[in-house]
Structure 1
Amino acid sequence: MSTLRYGANVQANGVRLHYLLYGQARAGRDPIIILPGITSPAITWGFVGERFGREFETYILDIRGRGLSQSGPTLDYSLDAQAADLAALAAALKLRRYTVVGHSMGARIAVRAARSGLPGLTRLVLVDPPVSGPGRRAYPARLDWYVDSIRLSVAGCNAESMRAFCPTWTEDQLKLRAEWLHTCDERAVRESFDGFHNDDIHSDLGRITIPVRLIAAGRGDVIRDEDIAEIRRLMPSASTTRVVDAGHMIPWDDEAGFYAAFEEFLGAPLGAAISKEKQHVGQ
């Protein structure tokens, strides 16, 4: 049985934010807010929401400029604006306590938001966050990979057209990518990609006082061992783990390993994964 309850829109931080809600509130377990990556509408994390929803009330956010959330030619797509969206969303949903799980760009948003000590934010999970920034090595992905695939989807394309960009993905994953990628505003993606190189999240890490779990991919070169060591120096209380058999899109490469990497950090284990055939994808 699906744990999806509904999708909804809320006015927060002056913009319309769309989210999907999975699972029911459970006594003693904080709700989860999932922040996806640079071209990941909320629906592409639906298979994760289904699993989280078995144990937690779980919200998956369409980051501004993606999915069904607001976009536009004058909208602010900066990291600071995205971080303010998270704070405003939690307030609009009246969440007294909650945990944030951020993947890639979503993890950087969570770091920027958490540096100011958000009321109610109890735990933070950073899933393979780009560690690029001023004076640091570049993020190991090309902007044209995103832009070319977005333009193709805007014109209209099928799963086979997406295969050149994502050769290892399943047919269902490619279909969902082709269906939803056009909702990712090109300017939003360009500005977020630039932010990977211009925004200094390392200066934020030392200001975070809540428990943090870092989940790094075993492949893909987004986070190296020396990066983990630096993060641990900046946040000595952070716990870290690698999902050895996964690249940057960890839940898609090793879904069971992704859930296992949380261990008891969220207050309850996530347990066994759903079958690979039911996976969907975005990046």
Structure 2
Amino acid sequence: MSASLLYGANVSANGIRQHYLRYGGKGRPVILIPGITSPAITWGFVAERLADRHDVYVLDVRGRGLSSTGPDLDYGLDAMAADVIGFAQALGVGAPALLGHSMGARIAMRAANTGGEFSRLALIDPPVSGPGRRPYPSKLPWYVDSIRLALAGIDVEGMKAFCPTWTESQLQLRAEWLHTCFEPAIVTAFEDFHKDDIFPDFATLKQPSMLMVAGRGGVIAPEDEAEIRGLNPAIEISRVPNAGHMIPWDDLDGFFEALGDFLSR
């Protein structure tokens, strides 16, 4: 167990149980919102580094990890954004920074644009697919097939077929926790990548914001960057040239170099 991991806990917020892991405990608060099939524990290696300077809260998004799940919940973007607003209010952390990866970045933007009080946003390679746009490069069966295997019980060797470049420890965590990702929640989020146009959210961000682009991710293209700059000229854009969409997994040092001091300014 990491020395910077203080504890895991649950809080009732926005009408559901939200589970989180807290790292560090000192410095400015940061809420880390993972992506579509990443329970909080899988971001521990990033939170440990952030905890050197920040009070870090890593969320289990609804339908994942130890947070509320099941067929009766709304898994749309607005509901997940309301969870983040409710979470920050329930814990009384003031105006935290948000660091969201992929789906988590979309959640962060929507939360900031719907009444949440947040100091700044680090948006890590958010899907920019949407109506009339090119599709998200990953395919739904990649998620669904791996979740179903995890529900039955999958080992590290089986997980390598889905994440061949990951380290042994990263594969172990994914094999252990992927079964907690509720398939309908994942399907809804994936479909919303194509139904919910996120570009208007860039235009209305008031907080200092950074967009981090994976050089080998195929998620954000140069024309997307140009459109985002046109919508919000104040947004900072950084790149991690040698990383795919799962940036910290591919290049952890590159991720932190691109992030720089953004969260602590």
TM-score (norm 2): 0.97
Q: State the secondary structure of the residue aligned to 1:37.
A: coil
Q: Deviations over 1:250-281 (max 9, x none)?
A: 0011100101111221126xxxxxxxxxxxxx
Task: Measure, in 2, the Cα distance between the counterparts of 1:164 and 1:264.
Answer: 36
Q: State the secondary structure of the residue aligned to 1:21.
A: strand
1:40 aligns with 2:38: yes
Cα drift, residue 117 of structure 1: 4.1
Q: 1:1-283 to 2 correspondence within 5 Å?
A: 2-26=3-27, 30-119=28-117, 121-267=118-264
Whichever structure has more helix as a proportion of its residues is 2
Task: Measure, in 1, the Cα distance between the counterparts of 2:191 and 2:111.
Answer: 19
CA-atom RMSD in angstroms: 1.0
Cα drift, residue 25 of structure 1: 2.5
Number of matched pairs: 264
Q: Which amino acid aligns with 2:203?
A: G
Identify unmatched segments of 5+ residues in structure 2. Answer: none
Q: Mean Cα displacement is larger for which, 138-147 or 163-172?
A: 163-172
Task: Measure, in 1, the Cα distance between the counterparts of 2:92 and 2:26.
Answer: 13
Task: Measure, in 1, the Cα distance between the counterparts of 2:82 and 2:115.
Answer: 12
Cα drift, residue 202 of structure 1: 1.0
Q: Percent identity?
A: 59
Query: 4+ residue runs of structure 1 moved beyond 6 angstroms?
Result: none
Task: Measure, in 1, the Cα distance between the counterparts of 2:264 and 2:44.
Answer: 21
Task: Measure, in 2, the Cα distance between the counterparts of 1:22 and 1:174.
Answer: 22
Task: Measure, in 1, the Cα distance between the counterparts of 2:142 and 2:94.
Answer: 39
Cα drift, residue 54 of structure 1: 1.1
Q: Which amino acid aligns with 1:260?
A: E
Cα drift, residue 130 of structure 1: 0.4
TM-score (norm 1): 0.91
